[in-house]
Copies of this chain bind each other. A is one copy, B any other.
Amino acid sequence: MAGHTLLQLLLRLAMFSAQTKTTPMRKIIYYVATSIDGYIAGPGEDINDFQHTGNGVDKYLADLKDFDTVIMGRNTYEFGYKFGMKPGDAPYPHMQHYIFSNQLKLEQAAEQVKIYPMDVELVRELKSTEGTDIYLCGGGIFAGWLLNHGLIDQVKIKLNPLILGGGTKLFANAKKAHRLLLQQQEAYEGGLQMLTYDVLYVGGDAGAE
């Protein structure tokens, strides 16, 4: 009887182990520079006032190496054109790029660049595939849309010592408030604060339209 019970126990353990071996969802991490008044770019998408050198920027660039996937909206992708990027280029060559847009058309594109329609299910699917966490590369409109659908897991702001007064908001069209959990605070040169927050979706936020 004792042997039988042990066998049953082992079988149950094996079944439990198999059940819990689901792949963890990949996190979407919105890693972005902001001013203290909540802008990720000034009027006219001007980003000149943000820090472009220093150990905080070095840290950011090093962190980007850990992502194998980047997602962005059309505005952010096209913003790259101002800096010499061509349509179809992959601005982060070591990452797979998913540009979520219902409008963007590319005649040809690097193999690591895909355009997806703005479809919540496609984002969920991407999160459930194998891979590293996913880098959300701005901007406000796409980030606001993801937030409204409960899809951003972490916000990592490079808080620049800067008032911009206007421009591109951290989240455009965000429809409700969200509480955050501060996970990390790091100080860098020139008064740059790096603050990492988990987004707490409570009371059914995650499915909110």
Binding site for B on A (CB under 8 A): 34-39, 42, 49, 144, 147, 155, 157, 159, 161-166, 169-171, 174-182, 185, 187, 191, 193, 195, 197, 199
A-B pairs with beta carbons under 8 Å apart, 20 shown: A35-B177, A36-B38, A36-B180, A37-B169, A38-B38, A38-B39, A42-B177, A49-B179, A147-B165, A162-B178, A162-B179, A163-B170, A163-B174, A163-B178, A164-B177, A165-B174, A165-B176, A165-B178, A182-B193, A185-B187
B36 touches A35 (CB 8 A): no
Which chain B residue has the least Cβ–Cβ distance from A192?
B182
Contacts of A144 in B (CB 8 A): 165
B193 touches A185 (CB 8 A): yes
Pairs A-B, 6 closest by C-beta atoms: A38-B38, A165-B174, A182-B191, A161-B180, A37-B38, A163-B178
Contacts of A42 in B (CB 8 A): 177
A49 touches B177 (CB 8 A): yes
Contacts of A36 in B (CB 8 A): 34, 38, 155, 157, 170, 180, 195, 197
Contacts of A37 in B (CB 8 A): 38, 169-171, 174
Contacts of A49 in B (CB 8 A): 177, 179
Contacts of A163 in B (CB 8 A): 147, 155, 170-171, 174, 177-178, 180, 199
- Assembled-state Cα–Cα distance A175/B167 (Å): 11
Contacts of A177 in B (CB 8 A): 35, 42, 49, 162-165
A39, A42, A165 — most chain B CB neighbours (10 Å): A165
- Assembled-state Cα–Cα distance A182/B161 (Å): 6
- Assembled-state Cα–Cα distance A170/B34 (Å): 14
